[in-house]
């Protein structure tokens, strides 16, 4: 198969920000005196803001009004925005900068499919905005594990989903890719939690883009 485009999740794939989302939620959980279960961190990965809050509230979720939930989500976002103010290119995850630069140099189009409404600010802080041809809008897409945001990213790039390689660190994100009309899922992280992915790498450093995209470049060169 000749792949023609790359689609990236942001938090936990390109940027070391999953820990900042978790720190902000932990602060909210502590203030609410909610327990933090062993699997809470993994369960929160890739979930959009209000769905994350439901996980934090657990069985107490029905005791909060919609207004209170919005206030709590806004509080978490303020904590998160404070934390991302200190981000810089050193917060790119291993291999991320090199992979983006390689794809860019080979003229393989790149899109972002992040659930985060703070994604643009994070891309700017990391100084990688210029690599992206398309940033799918999470406000216009059903949340992961629905495939919508990955399909919107492929559409934005004008590349068929089955010709896109997409990268995710979250179980919900890998499920979203696998539901996206033949898109290939590269799980970035642990084999235990991401076993639905087509390929799994510990980090982007272990991903060899030549195995996936070089034939596309050769085909493009001769056409």
- Residues labelled as active-site residues: 9, 11
In the complex, least distance from residue 170 CB atom to Mg ion, rounded to whole angstroms:
5
The rounded distance, in Å, linking the Cα atoms of 174 and 167 is 8
Cβ of 56: how many Cβ atoms within 10 Å? Answer: 22
* Helix residue spans in 48-194 (DSSP H): 49-57, 66-84, 96-105, 119-126, 148-157, 171-178
In the complex, least distance from residue 66 CB atom to ligand B16, rounded to whole angstroms:
17
Site membership for ligand B16, residue 4 (CB under 6 A): no
In the complex, least distance from residue 52 CB atom to ligand B16, rounded to whole angstroms:
5
Task: Give CA separation, 209 vs 7, 103, 124, in Å.
Answer: 13, 8, 24
Site membership for ligand B16, residue 148 (CB under 6 A): no
**150 vs 216 by CB, closer to ligand B16:** 150
Site membership for ligand B16, residue 193 (CB under 6 A): no
Footprint (CB under 6 A) of ligand B16, residues 73-112: 77, 80
Q: Which of 72, 81, 75, 99 is nearest to 17 (CA)?
A: 81
Helix (H) or strand (E) holding 201: strand 199-201
Q: What DSSP string describes 109-138?
A: -EEE--S-TTHHHHHHHHT-GGG-SEE--G
Q: Which one of the spans 33-41, 46-54, 126-134, 180-188 is the region binding ligand B16 (CB under 6 A)?
A: 46-54
Site membership for Mg ion, residue 9 (CB under 5 A): yes
Q: Which of 65, 52, 54, 3 is nearest to 23 (CA)?
A: 52
Site membership for Mg ion, residue 169 (CB under 5 A): yes
**17 vs 216 by CB, closer to Mg ion:** 17
Choose which of 4, 45, 125, 207 interacts with ligand B16 (CB under 6 A). Answer: 45
Query: Residue 145, preceding bond cis, omega within 30 degrees?
Result: yes
In the complex, least distance from residue 164 CB atom to Mg ion, rounded to whole angstroms:
17
**11 vs 148 by CB, closer to Mg ion:** 11
- The binding site for ligand B16 (CB under 6 A) comprises 9-12, 18, 21, 44-49, 52, 77, 80, 114-118, 170
- The binding site for Mg ion (CB under 5 A) comprises 9, 11-12, 46, 169-170
């Amino acid at each position: 198969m000749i792949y023609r485009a790359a689609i990236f999740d942001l938090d936990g794939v390109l940027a070391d920000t999953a820990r900042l989302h978790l720190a902000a939620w932990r602060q909210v959980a502590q203030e609410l005196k909610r327990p933090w279960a062993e699997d809470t961190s993994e369960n929160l990965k890739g979930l959009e803001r209000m769905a994350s809050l439901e996980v934090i509230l657990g069985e107490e979720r029905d005791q909060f009004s919609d207004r209170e939930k919005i206030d709590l989500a806004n509080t978490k976002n303020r904590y998160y925005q404070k934390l991302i103010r200190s981000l810089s290119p050193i917060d790119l995850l291993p291999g991320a900068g090199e992979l983006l630069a390689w794809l860019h140099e080979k003229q393989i189009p790149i899109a972002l499919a992040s659930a985060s409404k703070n994604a643009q600010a994070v891309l700017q802080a990391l100084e990688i905005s210029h690599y992206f041809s398309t940033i799918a809008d999470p406000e216009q897409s059903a949340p992961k594990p629905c495939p919508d945001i990955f399909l919107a990213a492929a559409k934005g790039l004008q590349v068929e989903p089955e010709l896109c390689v997409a990268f995710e660190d979250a179980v919900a994100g890998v499920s979203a890719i696998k539901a996206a009309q033949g898109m290939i899922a590269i799980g970035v992280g642990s084999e235990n939690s991401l076993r639905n992915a087509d390929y799994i790498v510990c980090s982007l450093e272990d991903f060899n883009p030549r195995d996936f995209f070089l034939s596309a470049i050769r085909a493009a060169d001769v056409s």
